[in-house]
Amino acid sequence: MQSDQIVSILGAGAWGTALSFIMGYKQQLYNKNTQYKKHKILLYTRDFIIANSINTNKINPLVDHKDPIPKSIIATTSLFDAMLSDIIFVSVPQKNLRDLFDNIKDIILKYNNIFEKKFRNSIIVLCTKGIDKDDCLPYEITQKYFPDNKIAVMAGPNFAYEIISGLPATTTIASSDISTAHIVASVLSYDNFGVEVSNDLFGIQMCSAIKNLIAIGSGIIYGFGSGYNITCSYIAKTIREIENLIVEIGGNKKSIMTTGGIGDIILTSTNKKSRNYTYGFEIGQILNSKKIDVDIINGLSINPNKITIEGYHTAHQLKHSKYINNITLPICHYLITLLIKNIININDINKLIKIILESNNNII
């Protein structure tokens, strides 16, 4: 690749904006230290008003940020321009991923000779997490649409608001081609943002998909008043279940111990700034205080049909998933059953706790 790379970020939500801060901060260091490569950074949004605000005032009205968006970030509403990049970060929700890729396919058909040759050499980095209605992980969807492109995924204990505030963090970049992972890492890594690399695409994406399900369970148990001890036991045992799942499917056992594995799971499962944990916490709290059955769709202040609660939707996708159906995952399987029935009662939580107590994950 050329020394002056073009990097684009598709999606100007909280995480897309956080990525722009990471790269923008690094570009500021480039001006002082030539060990860093220079990049042209594009932030794609479909909204002209947001793009204009970012380019004119360095403010994204969709995202709470005290510091201005770095000067090196250029917002664009042209998907064509954004796709003519060396590295393309995809930061859109799972439910919008296929629509975005359909739009890219339309551009390829329209500008075939100009566009396709350049785009085929682009690295696609997926920040999208979850499992879609067709039982596909984001990287599998991407491979079907763009089989010639190199693909990487990004995962870690990465709250967007902390990164935007300039707090230190680390992440994991995974690609089946480890050299691709290193190329992507070089775009992100600097003094305040560490990057580790992995060649286990599946393992890292599976951790990312299931972590939100685990976070809901963690919130339920602690909100129910069961204490830190059993909540942490639950987290430890579900982590071992995911490790078993990764191995059974052919992934790398070590993936669970990465920042994109255990790091992301702990963050999402213990922090009230996690929507999934907070959703579970409210369920547990209502059951504990009111002793009544809870309608987990309409009976809470957080409605998963109005606010994206990824773990709730993941539970519905995993119910008949090829990934987990024939694998022994007692806690995860029961939690899925719990969330898809929509009405939860005290006996359900007591049974969940009993399963946690009895599960030994075959380590004895």
Give 280's contacts (C-beta < 8 A, 6+ positions apart): 215, 216, 217, 218, 219, 220, 221, 223, 311
CA nearest to 26, candidates 144, 199, 190: 190
Q: Is 160 annotated as a binding residue?
A: yes
Q: Is 276 annotated as a binding residue?
A: yes
- Annotated catalytic residue within 26, 150, 211, 237: 211
Q: Is 133 annotated as a binding residue?
A: no
CA nearest to 25, candidates 86, 67, 84: 67
- Measured between alpha carbons, how far is 195 from 182 in angstroms, rounded to an integer? 9
Dmax (CA) of the chain:
65
Q: Is 11 annotated as a binding residue?
A: yes
Q: Is 129 annotated as a binding residue?
A: yes
Q: Is 275 annotated as a binding residue?
A: yes
Q: Is 203 annotated as a binding residue?
A: no
In single-letter form, the type of residue at position 22 comes to I
CA nearest to 164, candidates 87, 70, 76: 70
Q: Is 46 annotated as a binding residue?
A: no
Q: Is 16 annotated as a binding residue?
A: yes
Concerning whether 211 is annotated as a catalytic residue, the answer is yes
Q: Is 13 annotated as a binding residue?
A: yes
In single-letter form, the type of residue at position 154 comes to M
Could you tell me which residues are annotated as the binding site for substrate?
A: 129, 275-276
Could you tell me which residues are annotated as the binding site for NAD(+)?
A: 11-16, 160, 275
Could you tell me which residues are annotated as the binding site?
A: 11-16, 129, 160, 275-276
- Enumerate the active-site residues: 211
